[in-house]
Structure 1
Amino acid sequence: MAYILKEVKMRTNNSPEGMEKISALWRDVISGKLPVLFDSDKMFKEGISLISRYSNYESDETGEYDLSIMGVDSGFFAEMELKVERGLYKKYDVIDISNDEAICAKNAWNKVWSETKSGVIKRSFEDDFDSTVSAEYSGDGKAHCYLYISIEKEDNLI
């Protein structure tokens, strides 16, 4: 009987060693070794997108955090768009014209870190989500990195 994992999770950080652990985990998921996108019999799961969830932050992007790789359906993205509209998340859509997914994701996160450092956004460091889409699957033929960053909601009370 085949089985499917809903998510795989690890504790890591943004050090070079942490980045290699993240890359290794992604390789295992993409190859089907860890059955999130494929079941244990290597059958592709239709209608599922892979996302990264960052949670349980020790402090900020310089500390330890939990990284989960999860399979989600389109309802996840619709729900996230509603959270963006309500001011709970800020959405980033970064495009890399060279179609390199790794560079695209790196540029997206650099933008978040720059905006955090400059005070443009105030992150809550609760749950952040990352969905990188290769040029082959995007509508415009370019690699995209979609980030949903949890932000502190400002009170609009008078």
Structure 2
Amino acid sequence: MAYKLKEVTIRTNNSEEGTKKIGEIWGDITSGKLPLLFDTEHMFQQGVSPVSKYSNYSSDESGEYDLTIIAVTADFFQKIETAVSKGLYKKYDEKSENGEIGVCTRNAWEKVWLEQKSGDIKRAFTEDYESTVPSEYTKDGKPHCYLYIAIQ
């Protein structure tokens, strides 16, 4: 009997060790060890995209939080874009000119932290979402990181 997961959660932080844990869980998902994108028989789940959800913050980005990787369909992105249009979230779209997905992700988060520090945004620290898209799936051939940050 094949089964698939809908989400996987770890408790982590932004330390070097926490970042390593995040990389390990993503490796388990992309390899199929954790059947989020593939079922237990290694069949790819059509129409499913992985999204990171950051929640249950102990304080702010310097503390512990839950990272939940969820399998979403296109309607998720429609709903989150509606939340952006209502002013509940701010959307960040960063791309990497050199093709490194980690660079665009880092740049997106650094932009959030800079705007937070300068007072341009006030984060709610409820649920934030991140969708990274490899270059082979984008129109411009560059990897993108889309952040949806809950704001007050």
TM-score by length of 2: 0.99
Matching residue of 2:88: 88
Which residue does 1:134 correspond to in 2?
Answer: 134
The aligned residue for residue 32 of structure 1 is 32
- For 2:40 and 2:111, the matched residues in 1 are separated by 37
Aligned to 2:124: 124
Percent identity (aligned): 57
Q: Report the equivalent of 1:114.
A: 114
Aligned residues between the structures:
152
Q: Aligned residue for 1:8? A: 8
Q: Which runs of 5+ in 2 are unaligned?
A: none
Q: Please list every run of at least 4 consecutive aligned residues from structure 1 whose deviation after the TM superposition is greater than 6 angstroms.
A: none
1:104 to partner: Cα distance: 1.0
- In structure 1, C-alpha distance between the alignment counterparts of 2:5 and 2:101, rounded to whole Å: 24
Following the alignment from structure 1 to structure 2, what is the Cα–Cα distance between the partners of residues 62 and 20?
Answer: 16
- 1:76 and 1:139 map into 2 onto residues whose CA distance is 20
1:81 is displaced (CA, Å) by 0.4
SS across alignment from 2:43: coil
Q: Give 1:98's aligned amino acid.
A: N
1:56 is aligned to 56
Long gaps (5+) in structure 1: 153-158
> Counterpart in 2 of 1:102?
102
TM-score by length of 1: 0.95
CA distance in 2, matches of 1:89, 1:102: 23
The CA RMSD measured in Å over matched residues stands at 0.4
Once residues 131 and 109 of structure 1 are traced to their aligned partners in structure 2, the CA distance between those partners, rounded to angstroms, is 12
1:22 — aligned with what? 22
Report the Cα distance in structure 2 between the residues aligned to 1:37 and 1:138, rounded to whole angstroms. 19
One-letter amino acid matched to 2:150: S
CA distance in 1 between partners of 2:101 and 2:39 (Å): 24
* Amino acid paired to 1:120: D
| Structure 2 CA distance for aligned equivalents of residues 75 and 32 of structure 1 | 24
CA distance in 2, matches of 1:150, 1:61: 13
Question: CA separation in 2, counterparts of 1:38 and 1:139?
Answer: 25
* CA–CA separation in structure 2 for the residues paired with 1:31 and 1:117: 37
